[in-house]
A = this chain, B = another copy of it.
């Protein structure tokens, strides 16, 4: 009964099965195989545009590599203070970019605002050699707060960015979860809204180690092949990375998985919303819930065998709950029942 993260879930059986299917005979290495070609084609179809597609095995690599292609060593990447790239990647973007700067721009519900972004760019000193130079913006979709930027929000942010020639990267580790929530299309939620490069996540949504970096403008991808190799991210037996993504995209598995994970989050969120003393911090739009609970309730849940993280750290009485493509609804219901039981116990106990 693990709600720690969508990465504690395993892989989808269809994705594992695809590996076996891909294991038939010899295949040329480093992406010069048919399966990789097929994935590249599929991604372009899904996004209704010719895309340059690069598969890698982790979200951190996908973010760092994509940012390095659009941010010089003296560049600034603007992002939300809670963004994975600035909080949880041990400086990977700084490493891959060659020493760039990540500048945090605060905003509600895990989102940058156009006004906040514009102000941050204005304050940065574009064109002056003394200051690191605004180069790119990273939007996390779904956000680290479990919310989703609307297409309009993306467009407005991209407009602010492009006005000053900044490129727009989307960290789509939970891209599918946001997409099905919005009921949007991949194209609308990305390049049509101004996104220049996307990290299209698979690992949190049924794959075990597969992310696609998708450039909507091939010119921006010119350095990517060298950067990927040099980062040690180019698999020799690439077909096994491609096989994951191929199965992920086959018959809408990625959308089905995301819809399911989101539905489990909704179920959990709705239950918690009814719980006295529980306070849900952000709209539950993707597959994450942040809820503040009485300390004794948290301890009770832990004692009952539920696993989750306190947020942002162990001193907090807010917990983060994450659902996945294979979350057992009985675990959700058991969590709610346990929480309810502990809440009642608290209410009944003398102060």
A residues neighboring B (CB under 8 Å): 2, 4-5, 7-11, 13, 16, 19-20, 22-30, 56-65, 72-74, 87-92, 94-102, 123, 125, 129-133, 203-204, 208-209, 223, 225-237, 239-241, 307, 312-313
Contacts and interface: CB of A to CB of B under 8 A. Distances in A.
23 contacts: A2-B26, A7-B29, A7-B30, A7-B237, A10-B25, A13-B20, A59-B236, A73-B95, A74-B227, A74-B230, A89-B130, A89-B230, A89-B232, A90-B131, A90-B229, A94-B99, A94-B101, A97-B99, A99-B99, A129-B225, A129-B234, A130-B229, A209-B236
Contacts of A61: 231-233
A71 to B, nearest CB: 11
Given A25-B10, A235-B57, A94 B90 contact: no
Nearest to A17: B20
Contacts of A226: 72, 74, 90, 129, 133
Contacts of A19: 11, 16, 19, 208
Given A90-B132, A92-B229, A11 B99 contact: no
A58 B10 CA distance: 21
A92 B231 contact: yes
A235 B223 contact: no
Given A90-B230, A91-B101, A237 B209 contact: yes
A229 B27 contact: no
A94 B94 contact: yes
A16 B23 contact: yes
Chain copies in the assembled complex: 4
Contacts of A307: 26
Contacts of A59: 236
Contacts of A227: 74
B24 A95 contact: no
Contacts of A7: 29-30, 236-237
A102 B84 CA distance: 17
A231 B73 CA distance: 11
B28 A23 contact: no
A10 B25 CA distance: 7
Given A10-B237, A90-B131, A236-B59, A95 B230 contact: yes
Contacts of A30: 7, 129-130
A129 B9 CA distance: 21
Contact of A229 (B10, B89, B236): B89
Contacts of A239: 10
